[in-house]
Structure 1
Amino acid sequence: MDTRQLAAFCAVVERRSFSQAAERLGVTQPAVSLQVRALEKRLGTQLLDRSGRRVEPTEAGLRLYRGAQRLLTLEGQILDEVAGEGEGELTGELQIGASTGPAAIVVPLLLCEFQREHPGVRIALAVADTQAVVERVAARELELGIVGAARRHRGVTFEPFFDDEVILATPPGHPFAGRTVSLDELRGESLIVMQEGAGVRQIVEDELRAVGTRLRDLDVRLELGL
């Protein structure tokens, strides 16, 4: 329903005059008359009694007036809230997710900075592996996720956020310590990798696949989970 028609109708009921209603609304009297006639035509009933010196609402007009007042009040509240959101500070709750790597290093620093700038926002952080975070974002359970790798998912858009490096961790006295090793050298070593679903695991598998090797071709002895 056109709220401009309702506003014109309510102004006439309150002022008992088309001319005074037009003055209140800042429009011409014919414009007010046109709005009211259009409303009566749409509802298929007479809303105003114009036979006397003062315009009076009919029974149908009184019922409409009571409902229209509530609707116009609600419209004003909605407009005020929308305008306030654009002018005031951010408030509410932000549901985000992060995989274990970013959640341990990068995300806490970012959240502290964000909280200083937007103290009215409450942040709920869920930590899981990359696959779980991506699936929850796709399901609209999280508003955004920060993960270690872009897992392929049709329902999620990925944007580069920061660059990180995947390295081989060894004990200090290991022959591989402090140097670059080849894939052939890795084949003879026992390896520990992240569990399936982790971003680092995906990156390692993608790099191996690019050179014609699969992770299962290596001597993986242990998979680390959360």
Structure 2
Amino acid sequence: MSDNKPPSIRFPYKSDRLKPLRAFCQTVRLGSVSRAADALFVTQPAITVQLQALERDLGVALFVRSGRRLSPSREGELLYEMAQPLVEGIDALESQFRDKLGGMDAGELNIAANSSTILYLLPRIVENFRQAHPEVRLTLHNAITADGTDLLRSDSVDLAVGSMMEVPPDLSYAPVYRFEPLLIAPTGHALIRQRELSLHDISGHGLILPPRRQITYRLVDLVFHQHRVPYTVALEVGGWEVIKQYVAMGMGISIVPSICLTEGDRSRLATRPLSQWFPSRSYGVVVRKGKVLSPQARAFVELIQPDLFTRGGYDDSGPSER
């Protein structure tokens, strides 16, 4: 039994779709077959053949003549809209590849972090990065976690470093460091001398806390409400250094992660651990899901945690014990 189906038509140019599409885009851009041929360093008949084959394959006329100029038809305008980014992307592939390959010799890196992370966690990491990659322009955007996630979503920053309580579904969070919660008070304060300590004891003193939008305030509020213990906020103020200064002056007490305490604080502040009520705070790397990190960003993350990528460290279900 013979097969009566007509043989499919094959055009030689199909083996290289880029050539006719490039010829088509240049002709639309320049309005002339001869100018397109000059731009592509080929003969005018070669351009004509490519365009004719493209029209036969698509079954539409791609150009209309307007005087001496060729203009795209309605179908041609649609094809140009679709084909131009493809042609430009392919033509730029080699140079972009070379740029990416040598990306660590130049470029820029934008990181979002809150003031405490910038002040206490990142200085040594930034110093090491600058020494290894001095040509990269590094910008640290001082932003609380909520604002940092907005910067991530808009691609205004490459990554964020900080602490998260809840992780939105469009972001990935890899906790790397953990810091214990501490009560801080002036040296000699009654709570420091007290043998046994309870949440009720703490609630009897005015708390100095960061603004309500920040994680610390939300965490303190959550713990006191879970234990049904009322508490008083004596002062809301931004920045751990300011909070520590006001506590040292006797204006109140505070609950802080141990990341913000330095050797210089020992002479003016006393501490007590609070891990029996308050969870430890994780700090790590936040990225937008689906975003391919630049070589600069990957190099910075490797300084934070060298095996973060190889161990599959991004956890989008929230902070976890490491």
Q: Tell me by how many angstroms 1:15 deviates.
A: 7.4
In 2, the alpha carbon distance for the partners of 1:221 and 1:75 equals 58
| 1:149 counterpart SS class | coil
| 1:177 counterpart SS class | helix
| 1:189 counterpart SS class | coil
Cα 1:95–1:175 shift into 2, 3 Å: same
Aligned partners of 2:22 and 2:87 also within 8 Å: no
> Normalization by structure 2: what TM-score?
0.46
Structure 2, gaps ≥5 residues long? 1-15, 25-36, 63-68, 71-84, 240-322
Q: Tell me by how many angstroms 1:203 deviates.
A: 2.7
State the partner residue of 1:124: 139
| Partner of residue 41 from structure 1, selected from 56, 66, 80 | 56
In 2, the alpha carbon distance for the partners of 1:129 and 1:72 equals 39
> Letter of the aligned partner of 2:95 in structure 1?
E
Q: Does 1:170 align with 2:216?
A: no
State the partner residue of 1:82: 96
In 2, the alpha carbon distance for the partners of 1:205 and 1:40 equals 68
Aligned partners of 2:208 and 2:235 also within 8 Å: yes
Task: Name which structure has the greater RCO, CA cutoff 8 Å, separation 6+.
Answer: 2
119-128 or 129-138: bigger deviation: 129-138
Residues 159-178 of structure 1: CA deviation (Å, up to 9, x unaligned): 21321222111111113337
State the partner residue of 2:124: 109
Q: Does 1:187 align with 2:200?
A: no
| Partner of residue 144 from structure 1, selected from 149, 156, 159 | 159
Residues 101-140 of structure 1: CA deviation (Å, up to 9, x unaligned): 2111112222222222333321111213333323333343
In 2, the alpha carbon distance for the partners of 1:222 and 1:173 equals 21
Q: Does 1:99 align with 2:114?
A: yes
Aligned partners of 1:130 and 1:147 also within 8 Å: yes
Aligned partners of 1:149 and 1:200 also within 8 Å: no
In 1, the alpha carbon distance for the partners of 2:19 and 2:196 equals 73
In 1, the alpha carbon distance for the partners of 2:186 and 2:94 equals 62
> Letter of the aligned partner of 1:110 in structure 2?
I
> Letter of the aligned partner of 1:88 in structure 2?
G
In 2, the alpha carbon distance for the partners of 1:146 and 1:180 equals 36
Aligned partners of 1:97 and 1:128 also within 8 Å: yes
Aligned partners of 1:147 and 1:199 also within 8 Å: no
> Letter of the aligned partner of 1:225 in structure 2?
G
Structure 1, gaps ≥5 residues long? 19-32, 46-58, 61-70
Cα 1:188–1:85 shift into 2, 3 Å: same
Cα 1:162–1:85 shift into 2, 3 Å: farther
| 2:124 counterpart SS class | helix
State the partner residue of 1:222: 235
Cα 1:95–1:16 shift into 2, 3 Å: closer
| 2:119 counterpart SS class | helix
In 2, the alpha carbon distance for the partners of 1:111 and 1:223 equals 30
Structure with greater proportional strand content: 2
Q: Tell me by how many angstroms 1:205 deviates.
A: 2.7
Aligned partners of 2:21 and 2:87 also within 8 Å: no
How many percent identity over aligned positions?
Answer: 23
In 2, the alpha carbon distance for the partners of 1:121 and 1:162 equals 26
80-89 or 176-185: bigger deviation: 176-185
Cα 1:190–1:6 shift into 2, 3 Å: closer
Structure with greater proportional helix content: 1
Cα 1:72–1:141 shift into 2, 3 Å: closer
Pairwise CA RMSD? 4.0
> Normalization by structure 1: what TM-score?
0.63
Give runs of aligned pairs for residues 51-62 of structure 1, distance below 5 A: none
| Partner of residue 204 from structure 1, selected from 220, 237, 242 | 220
Residues 60-100 of structure 1: CA deviation (Å, up to 9, x unaligned): 8xxxxxxxxxx999566511223213421323222221112
